[in-house]
Structure 1
Amino acid sequence: MRRSGTAGLGARVTLVGRLLPREAPALVAPLRAALRARGIVLAESRAIAARPGPVLVLQDGSEHAGSHLLVAAGRAVPAGELGIAPGPDGFATDTGLRVLGQRNLYAAGDCADPAGIGPQRFTHVAGAHAALLIRRLVFRLPARLDPIPPVRTVYTDPELAQVGATEGARILEHPMRENDRALAEGETAGLARLVLDARGRLIGAGITAPAAGEMIGLYALAIHQRLPLAAIAGLGARVTLVGRLLPREAPALVAPLRAALRARG
């Protein structure tokens, strides 16, 4: 559901709490600006009290009154009958989703906290967990989670999509206002952010833009297949965002390769 949908119908909307705290701040900034431009109030202080009305009182002392209060507080893992207490992010598991320290107990979906990956509370991740457990428990086939974090998309307007690592040896950022197609379509709010390792390989990507959830697929494929950056840059400078990044960043990206060639004589 688009966060600005209710505001688009004429309602006055206030969002309480930090906006998308788990996502890269550079990608959240264009979304924050877009929501404010639509008249949505972002109260990013933490709510500390409530009064009838309903009225929320925030840490900074401000008060926000409304006719309806929507609370999205998440869900707690009902683990009482199991006799095992989950951690703050769910049950810690190995990459095969077996709960650590337990022989015949598995966790999947929102309650799973896989080692080295962490919780991923998305519908498509829960489906992937279910498929993995069917392979392991029904067909007795070996199966492990991919260590690369899956694609995650927030269906706001503009959308925010990320895949892979969020930090690396080098970060490339490209505002949508510098993209020809975005300019032509009048959709210049947003940013593309690419994460490279020390060898210049693409290990993460994030996009804030209209239809970002569709655009991120190319980068997800490149990351999961461990393709070099040139593999997608070669598709054409006007086809991919990474192609537009390369000319500006080429000297810095080529420098490590030159150094390696000199070292090899």
Structure 2
Amino acid sequence: MAQIVIIGGGPAGVTAALESARLGAEVILIEAAHLGGRATWHSLVPSKVFLSAAEALTAAHPWLENPPSRPDLGTLRARVRAQAETQSQRQRRALSQAGVRLIEAVARFEDPRTLRLEFSTGHSEHLNVDRVILATGSEPIFLPGLKPDGQRLLAPRAMANLSDWPEHLIMIGGGVTGSEYVSFFSQMGVPTTWVTDLPTFLPRAEPEIAAGLVAAMEARGVNLYPNAPVARAENTGSGVRVTLQDGRTLEGSHAFIAIGRRADTDRLNLDAAGVNVTRQGVVVDNYGRTSQPHIYAIGDVAGPPFTVNRAQAQARLAVRHALGLPTPPLETIVPVEAVYSDPQVAQVGLSEAEARHLGRTIQVLRADWDQALKAHLIGHTQGVLKLVVDAENGRLLGAAALGNHAVEVINALSLALQAGATLAHLAQWAPAYPTLGDLVRAAVDGYGV
């Protein structure tokens, strides 16, 4: 029986363990902290609890004369803990039922075939390995002068312990985490300032879609500071002072630091394993294989983009390849990138600019959110759907959307993209009515298909 050792118990590691067991391998999963990883305990689950609460409250606004403006923070904190614990327990049960051996320890390579396991009790032991999958995830980046203190200088980890609503929040960072928490706090009526050192907010998003989100935040009263690198953030005792590199200062009650993430490789001792690593993360091929053929790396530890769906897709492919089974390369998987702000941002495949840069002759099909009856029924009619289509053969190349439940619309289109669908295929789609899937029909009908 083939043996697979997986280091890291986050979404990628758990997926790899369950897939390995399903395919008949002897599986050992090593996790140094809490099963579920940072995604469950510090980032994804907590943020989605907060965002789900905001969505539930705002969904009721059109129907209530005096809708509640904010949820109780104590209730939110309890909900975060309950969801994290439930998810971790669910994963533990699934691993146990699959026959996966779970070891709670820090794993370090002593050579390419030997791991040293260090336990919280202080003792250690060695483990000889056949195949190894690295899934240690990523950790937030903090710089000198830009470090959280858990009180007024916040980071995602601190949100599960937030005891008071900020009087004025300064968000430092224009990526996905910054976008989601700016959306949440501004929805909750917290005066918010948004700062990024880049020319644009949400730089990975399709430019028109990102600009639409920024406009929505500005309309909500968010103060925007693009092209504004931060020199330092200080807790003054009664508030925070954020000093920009050009000398300007911003005052608030709290600052939230979300300037990026990096692959977490520090404790693995990869030099001893002979595994190549760059600043982006562990170097892998299109099957997740590192410079050592028996060692694979999946998810955030293999570099950006840092998304769970991509990590889980990598996990399944890497396991199959490690076991010698027929496996498509990772480039055939086209994951959706999503931002759970209000309005949501979602995209898949090529953007309009990317397609033109590649020399493709394209059509761009569009539909506005208010063309769907469902959008009017739920009271969210602002948004846009863009389809990028190859003008020569009608094949769908990519899609992007901004709007309420945009992720669900793009999810459907990701399957169409994966299947090589054309405008002719989309023209034959008959989604349930009324749904936001009607937006796809509206875009295709606009071009006479």
TM-score by length of 2: 0.49
Q: Does 1:246 align with 2:447?
A: no
Partner of 1:141: 325
1:82–1:105 CA distance, 2 compared to 1 (3 A)? same
Asked whether the 8 Å contact 1:34–1:189 carries over to 2, the reply is no
2:191 partner amino acid: R
For residues 184-195 of structure 1, what are the structure 2 equivalents within 5 Å? 185-195=378-388
Contact 1:45 1:60 in 2 (8 A): no
- Residue 252 of structure 2: aligned partner: 66
2:383/2:403 contact within 8 Å kept = yes
Letter in 2 for 1:244: A
Contact kept? 1:232, 1:240, Cα under 8 Å: no
Letter paired with 2:427: A
Distance in 2, Cα, partners of 1:173 & 1:55: 43
Corresponding letter in the other structure for 1:213:
V
Aligned equivalent of 2:194? 15
More strand by share: 2
Residue ranges of structure 1 left out of the alignment (5+ in a row): 114-118, 254-265
Counterpart in 1 of 2:345? 160
Aligned-pair Cα RMSD in Å: 2.6
Cα shift at 1:27: 0.9
1:60-209 paired onto structure 2 within 5 Å = 61-72=247-258, 73-79=260-266, 81-83=269-271, 84=275, 86-99=277-290, 101-113=291-303, 119-137=304-322, 139-143=323-327, 144-167=329-352, 168=355, 169-183=362-376, 185-197=378-390, 198-209=392-403
TM-aligned CA distance change 1:107 to 1:246, over 3 Å: same
Q: Which residue type is aligned with residue 230 of structure 1? A: A
Q: Residues 149, 10 of structure 1: CA spacing in aligned structure 2 closer, same or farther, 3 A cutoff?
A: same
Task: Show structure 2 runs of 5+ residues with no match.
Answer: 1-46, 52-180, 356-361
Tell me the CA shift for residue 185 of structure 1.
Answer: 4.2
**Which secondary structure state, in structure 2, belongs to the residue aligned with residue 194 of structure 1?**
strand
Question: How many residues were matched structurally?
Answer: 244
3-state SS in 2 of match to 1:45: coil
Q: 1:24 Cα deviation (Å)?
A: 0.4
User: For each residue in 1:24-61, what CA deviation from the matched residue of structure 2 results, as whole angstroms up to 9, or x when unmatched?
Assistant: 01111221122122222222223231253332233565
SS state at 1:219 partner:
helix
Candidates 42, 48, 51, aligned match of 2:230: 48
Q: Find runs of 4+ consecutive structure 1 residues off by over 6 angstroms.
A: none
The one-letter code sitting in structure 2 at the alignment partner of 1:231 is H
Which amino acid letter does the alignment assign opposite residue 13 of structure 1?
A: T
Within 2, Cα distance between the matches of 1:148 and 1:195?
18
Task: Judge conservation of contact 2:334–2:418 (CA < 8 Å) in 1.
Answer: no
> 1:146-197 CA deviation, whole Å, 9 max, x = no partner?
4343012110001111111113323223332444443454322211011112
Tell me the distance in 2 between the aligned counterparts of 1:186 and 1:220.
Answer: 26
1:237-260 per-residue CA deviation (whole Å, 9 max, x = no partner) reads: 97532321234333xx8xxxxxxx
SS, match of residue 14 in structure 1: strand
Percent identical among aligned pairs is 33
